Amino acid sequence: MAAQASQPARWSDRFEEGLHPAIERFNASIGFDITLLQQDLDASIAHARMLGRCGVISVAEADQLIAALETVRTEAAEGHFRPGLEDEDVHFAVEHRLIALIGPLGKKLHTGRSRNDQVGTDLRLWLRQAIDGLDAGLRRFQQALLDQADSHLHTLIPGYTHLQRAQPLSLAHHLLAYVEMAERDRQRLADVRGRVNISPLGAAALAGTPVPIDRRLTANDLGFEAIYANSLDAVSDRDFAVEFSAAASLILVHLSRLSEEVILWASEEFGFVRLTDRCATGSSLMPQKKNPDVPELVRGKAGRVFGHLMGLLTMIKGLPLAYNKDFQEDKEALFDVVRTTADCLEAMAILLEEGIRFRPERLEQAVAADFSNATDVADYLVARGVPFREAYQLVGGLVKTCLSEGLLLKDLPLERWRELHPAFEADIHAAIEPRQVVAARRSEGGTGFERVAEQLQRCRERLGPQPEPQAPAP
C-alpha cells in the first residue's frame, strides 16, 4: 500500500501535493535544530523591532509580535512548546505558533528575511555563546594545571624526547607547558569569535530584499560587531564553522596529549601518579585494577571532533553559491563538537583537581636512576674550555662504559672522571645531581626553579582572579 503524502500547507500554491512521509522525515531538522530555539526567538524579536522602527509594520504590530514571541519562550520554558515533524524546523515551528497565538499578524514577521539568513543568524548567536562557555572551560583547566604546578615547583620529573629519558625537569615546568597550549586555544577561540560575530540577517534568501529594512539595527540589537558586506556570502558562509571546529580540534589535541601522559604515568611501569577513586573505575574481572577511564575517553573523543571537522570541510567544498540544503548538516556537527569539547575540558579539569596524586618520591627515584644528566657532564667540560663536540664524544663513550659496568654517572669516583679528562674536579658530583641539573637551566623559558617561579607568576597574572561561575555551554 502506498504511503500517504502529508499536506502541502507550509509551501506556496506552487505545490499540489505534500511530501512523501519518508521524505518528510528525511528532510526535517526539528529534531536537532530545536537547540536554536532561544536564538531564533532573540533574532525574531530583533527583526520585529527593526520592522517597526523602519515603518515596514506599525510599532504596535511590532510590540504584539514581540509579546507573542516572548509567550513562545515562556511556553518552551514550561515544557508546553512541543513542535513536531510537521513543523520541519525550528523557524517554521516558531512561525506556526506565532500565527496560532495572534492570527494573521504572525505572518508578517517573515517580511524582509528568509530562512537562509535566519538560520545563519541563529547559528552564529548560538556559537558565540558556546565559545564563551568553552573559554570558561579552558580557564578552569588552566587553573587546575596552575594549582598542581604551584604544589610541585621543586618536584622533579624525567623529561623525554622520543619517549626516551632526556633531561630532568621541574614538574611545574612540565604542567605549565599545557597552560601555554590552553592559552593559545583561548586566543584562537577569541579570534574565531570575531568572525562568528558578523550578522547575515537581512541578506534574505541570497540577494537582499526590496523591503526598506535596516540591517545594522538588528546587528546592533543582537550584539553583532558588523554585517556581511555581500548577501551571497552572508547566506553561504560556513567558514566560521570550520574555523571553530579546527580550534576545537586543537583543544582536543592538547587534552589528548596530556591524557596519554597521565595514562602512562598511572601505569605500574611509570608509577608517577596515583588515581583517586573519584576519577577511576575498576575491572569487572580483575579486582586489583584501577583504570584511567577519564583520560582514555578524552583521548578517544578527540577523533570524534576531528571527524566533524573533516565532515564539514567535505560538505562545504563542492557547494555552488548560495544556500544549499547540505548546510543542514552543519548543526549536528557543531552541536556535538561543542558538547564533546566542553565535556572533555570539564572532565580533565576535575581529573587535575581531584583525580590524580603525583608521587614525588617515585619521581625522585626515577630521575636519580638514569643518564639524563649526561648533557650536564658535557656542559661542565664546555664551561672549562672544552669544545662541545669533543665533550659530547667523551661523555658518549663514558655512558657506554658505565652501561657495560652497570654503573650510573653518579657512581663514578673522582679518579675515573680525571682519567676521562683533567678538567674534572671534585665538584662534578654536585654538578650532575638531578636537582642541580634542573636548577642550572636558567635560560629564559627554561626549567630552572627560578625561571619556573617566574612562569608561575606570569600565568597567575594572566589568568587573573577567579571569575564568577558562568552558565554551561549550550
Catalytic sites, residue numbers: 162, 283
Q: Are 19 and 27 in contact, with CB atoms under 8 Å apart?
A: yes
Q: Are 292 and 266 in contact, with CB atoms under 8 Å apart?
A: yes
Q: Are 69 and 98 in contact, with CB atoms under 8 Å apart?
A: yes
Q: Are 13 and 4 in contact, with CB atoms under 8 Å apart?
A: no
Strand partners, 161: 164
- The residue whose grid cell reads 507573542 is 68
Beta strand 198-199 with 226-227: parallel, antiparallel or unpaired? parallel
**Count of beta carbons in the 10 Å neighbourhood of residue 379:** 18
- The residue whose grid cell reads 607547558 is 177
Strand partners, 271: none
Q: Are 341 and 267 in contact, with CB atoms under 8 Å apart?
A: no
Residue 395: name the closest of 367, 362, 365, 372 by CA. 372
- The residue whose grid cell reads 578517544 is 300
Instruction: Show the DSSP H helices in 266-292 as ranges.
Output: none
What phi, psi does 166 have (nearest 5°)?
-120, -75
What is the total residue count of the chain?
474
